[in-house]
A and B are shown apart, each in its own frame.
Chain A
Amino acid sequence: MLKNDLVDTIREKALWMRRRAFTMVHDAQLGHPGGDFSAIDIIATLYFGVMRYDPKKPDMPERDRFIMSKGHATGALYTALCAAGYYPEEWLKTYMQPQSKLNGHPNRNYLPGVETNTGPLGHGLPVALGIAIAGQLTGSDYRTFVLTGDGELQEGSNWEAAMSAGNRKLGKFTLIVDRNRLQQGMGTEETNGLDPLDDKFRAFGWDVEVIDGHDVGALVNALSEPPGGRSKPLCIIANTIKGKGVSFMENKASWHHGVPNAEQYNTAMEELV
């Protein structure tokens, strides 16, 4: 596919994911829409422009893996997996209902395509590291992608894994930080500042790229493997906007787990076109 066509396809998928995720949150009156919307362009790019997978064979050993460390952003993950063909759209209507496969945080035993159970923050990067080490041990060429929130990087377990990954020269390992600069209550820098985040990862032995996390073309470029591959793990700091795409949600910490009333829902649907 030509790059412009690919970018258009990804944008279309991302738009569908935003509309569908917001509908799920509205119907359930539960969810984390702010973080869904900051992450959706990144996840859409991975599933519809970068990753190798077959939804009919979710356990295929050579599949690329995506680990959703910010497990609360299920609106983004569940819509991506649905659009990728892992399960029918009907399932999305059960979001957070009793006995649903679509729990408030993802469970790999409920849903095909979910690589590990996340929810408590700081778990995804170590698990993804183990997957990447397994690939290195077996000489497999699959790639491992993990998405963390930025506030999540306050958890120490991430830095244990970051140190270990840097020392292991894992060229097929990519971390994307959803850098929306807001955690649930207020800004990351007001809470426990992360900057300079790029220097931190460079010091831990990673390649670092800082991009606009809503620029699909930039995401495709950064997430695609360069000719000849890499010799270090890659950290992409994706500058994003919490609530991206809906005017009254953008950059508002209250939409971390805010849910829309009917009027807000209708306004959002008018904007998401």
Chain B
Amino acid sequence: MAAPAAKQQGFYDCRDAWARTIEELAENDPRIVAVVNDSVGSSKLGGFQKKFPDRLVNVGIAEQNMVGVGAGLANGGRIPFVSAASCFLTGRALEQVKADIAYAGFNVKLVGQSSGVAYGELGPTHHSIEDFAWLRPLSNIKVVVPADSWETAEAVKWAAAYEGPVYIRLSRMPVPDLVVENRKFQPGKAETVRKGDDVTIIACGTMVHLAVQAAVELEAEGISARVLNMATISPLDEAAISAAASETGAIVTVEEANIHGGLGGAVAEHTSANLPVPIERMGFPGFVPTGSVEWLFDHFGLTATGIARSARKAIGRKRG
């Protein structure tokens, strides 16, 4: 396992919110079951297992079977949360995700743990930076990427109540709670974390708090940056993106994922067809070199300073 990231004051591992919430939901709804591939610990489901030993289905290291079993449990009237490291859940079992979950349309919740480059030094086999590109075309699956503990809990509660397939993408990287007034989790809607007129930074997951820091940095230079938390990658909030393009004229996308086919790709697809504006896509261009999560973020500019730099570049590319 990768060494845990250094603990910072006020930073929380969203898996704790996931584990708390799924236990609470399971207390009140006997239909909720967890399905894992020897991933009890990495999914933080030890507490769930203790409370509901029969309702934790551990199929062992067998992801294709795990996802198929999830579909079958839904056929049998259960609400399965299939939880595993997202690299294996989406990569190893991609055809099961496509045929058994998305195409068949079963009420299954896929929970990808330790996504992005959370496994750092373990390398690209264990990174999950392709999952957005793989799942976005599976149009029946809602792809949700919570940015903090509060949003993780809300997304899990929403997924349990929603009838249909959902992929929730979690990290093990501690993140701070976002400060947004009157917050309400709305699937399929971008959350405006900061208002701004000169450029829009569209981020998801672990990148949102860095985007906020970047906006603070830019503000000191007199640049007004809007920050959108795009917690739902699919379906995309096209209205929010159109508004960002027409009102701010330049966009930066930031994701802990491959820039091809992910959030940046989705935003570029929409704007290029409707309201073309300069876009800077931030993320990973492909397999990444060996390094800790912190080193990888720094190396690829996924820092407040790096995001601010991309924002200036996007503004500089505006016409006239």
The yes or no answer to A94 lying at the interface (CB within 8 A) is no
User: Assuming A123-B68, A129-B72, is B100 touching A117 (CB within 8 A)?
Assistant: yes
| Cβ–Cβ < 8 Å partners of A133 in chain B | 57, 69, 72-73, 76
| Cβ–Cβ < 8 Å partners of A107 in chain B | 103-104
> Is B77 within 8 A of A65, CB to CB?
no
How many cross-chain pairs have Cβ atoms below 8 Å apart between A and B? 107
Main secondary structure of the interface of B (DSSP, over half): helix
The yes or no answer to A150 lying at the interface (CB within 8 A) is no
**Mask of B74-103 contacts with A, CB within 8 angstroms, 1/0:** 111110100000000000000110011001
Please tell me which one of the listed residues B67, B73, B100 contacts residue A134 in the complex, with CB atoms under 8 A apart. B73
The yes or no answer to B60 lying at the interface (CB within 8 A) is yes
The yes or no answer to B70 lying at the interface (CB within 8 A) is yes
Interface size range of chain A in the complex: 20 to 34
- The smallest C-beta distance from A136 to any residue of chain B, in angstroms, reads 9
The yes or no answer to A187 lying at the interface (CB within 8 A) is no
Most chain B CB within a 10 A radius of its CB, from A123, A127, A133, A140: A127
The yes or no answer to A245 lying at the interface (CB within 8 A) is no
- The smallest C-beta distance from A84 to any residue of chain B, in angstroms, reads 18
Please tell me which one of the listed residues A108, A116, A137, A164 contacts residue B62 in the complex, with CB atoms under 8 A apart. A164
> Is B104 within 8 A of A108, CB to CB?
yes
Report Cα–Cα, A109/B57, bound state, in Å. Answer: 27
- The smallest C-beta distance from B48 to any residue of chain A, in angstroms, reads 15
Report Cα–Cα, A116/B68, bound state, in Å. Answer: 10
The yes or no answer to A54 lying at the interface (CB within 8 A) is no
The yes or no answer to B71 lying at the interface (CB within 8 A) is yes
Closest-by-CB residue of B relative to A131 is B72
Report Cα–Cα, A245/B157, bound state, in Å. Answer: 55
User: Assuming A109-B105, A157-B64, A164-B59, is B72 touching A119 (CB within 8 A)?
Assistant: no
Report Cα–Cα, A138/B64, bound state, in Å. Answer: 24
| Cβ–Cβ < 8 Å partners of B64 in chain A | 122, 126, 156-157, 160
**Mask of B245-262 contacts with A, CB within 8 angstroms, 1/0:** 000000000000000000
Please tell me which one of the listed residues A61, A127, A137, A164 contacts residue B100 in the complex, with CB atoms under 8 A apart. A127
User: Assuming A61-B77, A133-B57, is B69 touching A127 (CB within 8 A)?
Assistant: yes
The yes or no answer to B126 lying at the interface (CB within 8 A) is no
The yes or no answer to A130 lying at the interface (CB within 8 A) is yes
The yes or no answer to A220 lying at the interface (CB within 8 A) is no
| Cβ–Cβ < 8 Å partners of A126 in chain B | 64-65, 67-69, 71-72, 96, 100
Interface size range of chain B in the complex: 20 to 34
The yes or no answer to A161 lying at the interface (CB within 8 A) is yes
- The smallest C-beta distance from B304 to any residue of chain A, in angstroms, reads 44
Please tell me which one of the listed residues A137, A157, A163 contacts residue B33 in the complex, with CB atoms under 8 A apart. A137
| Cβ–Cβ < 8 Å partners of B60 in chain A | 160, 163-164
- The smallest C-beta distance from B169 to any residue of chain A, in angstroms, reads 23
The yes or no answer to A249 lying at the interface (CB within 8 A) is no
Residues of chain A in range 129-153 having any CB-CB distance to chain B below 8 Å: 129-135, 137-138, 140
Please tell me which one of the listed residues A127, A134, A135 contacts residue B68 in the complex, with CB atoms under 8 A apart. A127
A residues neighboring B (CB under 8 Å): 61, 65, 107-109, 115-120, 122-123, 125-135, 137-138, 140, 156-157, 160-161, 163-164
18 additional A-B residue pairs with CB within 8 Å, beyond A157-B68, A164-B59: A107-B104, A108-B104, A115-B75, A116-B75, A117-B99, A117-B103, A119-B99, A120-B95, A127-B71, A128-B72, A129-B72, A130-B69, A130-B76, A131-B76, A134-B77, A138-B78, A157-B96, A161-B62
23 pairs, CB–CB < 8 Å, chain A vs chain B: A107-B103, A116-B106, A117-B99, A120-B99, A126-B65, A126-B67, A126-B100, A127-B100, A130-B69, A130-B75, A131-B75, A132-B72, A133-B72, A137-B33, A137-B55, A137-B76, A138-B77, A157-B96, A160-B59, A160-B64, A160-B65, A163-B62, A164-B59
